[in-house]
Amino acid sequence: MTAATGAPTSRLRAGLRAGTRRLAGGPGRVPGVDVARGIAVLGMFTAHVGVTTPDAGPAWWLLDLSHGHSSILFALVAGVSVAIVTGGPHLLDGDPLRRARLRLLVRAALLLVVVALLDLLGTRVALILGFYACYFALALPFLRWRPPRLLALAAAVALIGPLLAYWGPEALLRAGLRLPHDGSGAVTDFVLTGHYPAIVWMAYVLAGMAIGRCDLRSPRLRRGLLLGGLAAWGAFSFLPGAVVGAAGGEEVVLTSQVMARQSVDGAPFAWGAPWPGVAGLFLDGPHDDTTIEVLASGGFAAAVVGLCLYVGRVGRWVLAPLAAVGSMALTVYSLQIVAIWHWDLLGSTTNGPLLVMVLVTLAAATAWRFLLGRGPLERAVGAVADRAALAAPPQEPPEKAQRGSRS
């Protein structure tokens, strides 16, 4: 082989090695977390575009799991990611902590920009990105908390949040107040009345942060998440049938105890009128945001994360396309909304469009990660957030600041 032919071969080999390293993820990435995030994103594809009724075939129940579970898994993994990028098991302090908080705040602002553009398409998809921005902002005070405190707070939100989400809007209406109808009520919508209310969904984010503050390589953690999550999912999935069944069934509970007792703007019930019944808190449909859904679906999401953390050296390559999707979830999620808008994919009568979307996404994400690494939106958002954090002046130690104020 001559030097002329050897140089291109060497460059090709170097390019393949570099692409392989990019496909495996950098030293700061956890393959199992990327795989879990990829499952969540493709699950949202299924929930938005797929046919998930018994007409879809024998595996319809597996497709039906995408409703509700996918977005909850997405929120749980978001919490894991927040913990990872802010030190993982090692808590940040001082200037590094301040810069990490600034990065998260800038990312939240940029998410609002992205979701504002996607919302202009009017796809009738309940966009989660704006609520994500709210979750990131609400997570800022807890970046120094250790796993036990985070888990305790997550448990408190899981128990109390659904009660506030269930009866809170009704209380506002009966008090003569108005629920938000437009952007002026964005905070109330993000926190209490929206499709993904933070008063409930922060339970998943905080639980994810607790997971991310642990050693993700620990076999004990993986085993605990998988077995504990499956146990919670199984136990709390059976409870609604007993309670709701004793109250007359799901349809009776929805009509007579929930909808019939909910006020309408402009015509609220009196404060002393019957309130929505307690049985409504045992409904476990997608996005019911009840106590039962939080505990059952949260357990399911934890089990999926635990299973994905078992991804080893061989699994990292077998599941590389799924991890590639998860590594650029913002880009993939956004392009999904554009595709739904452009080809009018909602209401499809077959799973053909879903299959095409999934295969194209897996192939495109794998090729992009192999050739270029980070996704385009991830690269842009990360660059702006990093630049903002670096531009912030370092914080002076208190002793130095006090000496300067006396001079």
In the prediction, which pLDDT does 405 show? Answer: 40
In the prediction, which pLDDT does 6 show? Answer: 61
In the prediction, which pLDDT does 386 show? Answer: 93
Backbone φ and ψ of 304, nearest 5°: -65, -45
**Angstrom distance (rounded) from CA 186 to CA 137:** 14
Backbone φ and ψ of 168, nearest 5°: -60, -55
**Beta bridge partners of residue 267, listed in sequence order:** 264
**Angstrom distance (rounded) from CA 168 to CA 192:** 8
Q: Are 89 and 314 in contact (CB under 8 A)?
A: no
Helices and strands: H and E segment counts in the chain = 18, 0
In the prediction, which pLDDT does 248 show? Answer: 87
Q: Which of 24, 139, 162, 25 is closest to 76 using CA atoms?
A: 139
In the prediction, which pLDDT does 396 show? Answer: 64
Backbone φ and ψ of 340, nearest 5°: -60, -40
Run means of pLDDT, 10 residues per run, the chain, 407 residues: 64 86 83 96 96 83 91 98 95 93 96 96 94 96 97 97 96 92 86 95 98 96 97 90 86 91 89 94 89 94 96 85 96 98 92 96 97 95 93 66 45
Amino acid (1-letter code) at residue 219: P
Q: What is the pTM of this model?
A: 0.93
Q: At what angle do helices 352-372 and 320-327 cross, to 10 degrees?
A: 80
The domain segmentation of the chain, as residue ranges, is: 29-234+287-393
**Angstrom distance (rounded) from CA 374 to CA 210:** 26
Residue 113, both tokens: 């920009």
Ramachandran region, residue 123 (left: φ > 0; alpha: ψ -120 to 50; beta: rest) = alpha
